[in-house]
């Protein structure tokens, strides 16, 4: 095997290891963010909403869907939205805008109702 092939194989291996490491870090961060989500929203007063992770223009995004409008209103009245936004923003730089990255809605019969 020529030295050039060793260099290419080494660079390919390093790239794959970097991708694997980056993915594992992101998964670990999402696990912590999900735990923050449960800390804020898994309370006896409401049914625990559903959290979906996504990505929008290179930034992580979050969709929180409540089972009923009453649950959504309870969360809003008890300031759970700002608490969740604050916790999520703590994972990112000052450029991250939680108001744009986090959507709160109500799921009705498979449809998402914007509020």
Q: Which domain holds residue 37?
A: 3-114
> Cα–Cα distance between 84 and 13 in angstroms, integer?
39
3-state secondary structure of 62: strand
What is the pTM (predicted TM-score) of this model?
Answer: 0.82
At residue 76, does pLDDT exceed 90? yes
Residues 18-67: pLDDT tens digits? 999 989 998 999 999 999 999 999 999 999 999 999 998 889 999 999 99
Per-residue pLDDT, 61 = 96
Q: Based on the structure, what is the number of domains in the chain? A: 1
At residue 113, does pLDDT exceed 90? no
CATH number at residue 79: 3.30.300
Percent of the chain with pLDDT over 70: 94
């Amino acid at each position: 095997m020529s030295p050039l092939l060793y260099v290419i194989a080494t660079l390919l291996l390093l790239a794959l290891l970097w991708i694997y490491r980056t993915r594992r870090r992101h998964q670990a961060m999402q696990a912590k963010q999900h735990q923050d989500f449960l800390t804020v929203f898994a309370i006896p007063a409401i049914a625990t909403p559903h959290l979906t992770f996504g990505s929008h223009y290179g930034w992580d995004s979050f969709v929180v869907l409540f089972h009923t409008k009453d649950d959504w209103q309870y969360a809003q009245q008890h300031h759970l939205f700002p608490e969740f936004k604050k916790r999520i923003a703590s994972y990112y730089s000052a450029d991250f805008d939680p108001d744009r990255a986090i959507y709160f809605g109500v799921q009705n019969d498979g449809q998402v109702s914007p509020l």
